[in-house]
Chains A and B, each alone.
Chain A
Amino acid sequence: MLSSGKAVKVSIYLSEGATHHGASTYSSILDFLFFRGVSGATVLKGVAGFGADHHMHSANFVEISDHLPMKIEFIETREKIDELLGKLEEMVGSGMIEFQETTIAKPAQVSKSKKAPVSEHVRIEGKAKLMRIYIGESDRWHDQPLHEALLRAMRANDLAGATVYRGILGYGAHRRVHKEKPLHLSHDSSIMLSVIDTEEKLQAFLPLVDQMVQEGLVVLSDVDIIKYSHRAMETGESKE
């Protein structure tokens, strides 16, 4: 965690409508910073501005513009920033990243321990591990469904891919039967997340699972990767 003294303040400038792998860039970056253990970050929304393209973007037209400027700010140690920078540059696309030497007069109070950093994305081949997490659909983590939070945490930790399945019938530790109801009035089905990645990556992710899952079952098994490939996706400004 941060202590008083020298630190670096990072400002990231991007457009509100920018997307990264199909999700809005600012929320992807915020997730990334959050799940990589950055001490804090703030997203600010501009009311008007212009960028590299020299187009004036403003909120004059009853919120129809999705090109308003956004700024993400966070303060961290130089080492932490060096560790995150590569991925941030990739995520920010056509946006801008700025550093500023700063001095912390008083660090914020810490209420949670910091997570271990995880390694960068690697290509996986041959032997790998399959992790399945069994939880309930109504389980929550902070203010969101646990399965969505886990998925976001996996994405932020660069796990190769994850799928969420909803069961039609099941029971678990408390022997309460979870049943699928017609028309989805109830949201209490069994949920399974399945992720495949290297043993190393999954082991590095487990402490986060420990924190997030209060009740459930996690199993790891050996798998052979037959094929893992993906199309290149466009990063940066969405063109609409």
Chain B
Amino acid sequence: MKEQFQGRMLRIHFTEDDKWQGEPLYKAIVAKCMELGLGGATVFRGVEGFGASARIYHARSLSISKNAPVMVTVIDTEEQIQKLIPHLDQMIEGGLIASSRVEGIRYTRPE
């Protein structure tokens, strides 16, 4: 099934070792999205980067450092995204949220 919609995409940038109530922040954000009934969320790990705190992170092979840049993307309708924002305000201490308008097409296979 194909469904078209006007929506909003958030890209939330922070690091892999950021925590929220003891668990990794990225897991907490994905869990929050599920709880709020958002259509989906995906977490990506960067290979290198720097942020507001200006530390440079390199993904070295066999490195046990966890401080990689991560990005969570969330896409849904404007009103669904607005439900998430107050929670993000609370959960994110150091990070960046970029927001853009998107035209979406959702394909779903009947279960």
Contact = CB atoms under 8 A, between A and B. Distances in A.
A108 B106 CA distance: 35
A87 B96 CA distance: 43
Contacts of B73: 132, 192
> Which secondary structure dominates where chain B touches chain A?
strand
Interface in B1-42: 2, 7, 9, 26-27, 30, 33-34, 39-42
B105 interface: yes
B92 interface: no
A217 B105 contact: yes
Interface in B53-108: 70, 73, 75, 100-108
Interface residues on B, range: 20 to 34
A167 B44 contact: yes
Contact of B42 (A169, A173, A206, A209): A169
A96 B30 CA distance: 55
Contacts, number: 85
Interface of A: 132, 134, 165-175, 177, 190, 192, 206, 209-210, 213-222
Given A175-B34, A217-B107, A170 B40 contact: yes
Contacts of B40: 134, 170-173, 217
Nearest to A165: B44
A167 B106 contact: no
Contacts of A173: 39-40, 106, 108
Nearest to B101: A221
28 contacts: A132-B73, A167-B44, A168-B26, A168-B45, A169-B26, A169-B27, A169-B30, A169-B42, A170-B40, A170-B42, A171-B30, A171-B40, A172-B40, A174-B111, A190-B43, A192-B42, A210-B107, A214-B109, A215-B108, A216-B106, A216-B107, A217-B39, A217-B104, A218-B105, A219-B75, A219-B102, A222-B100, A222-B101
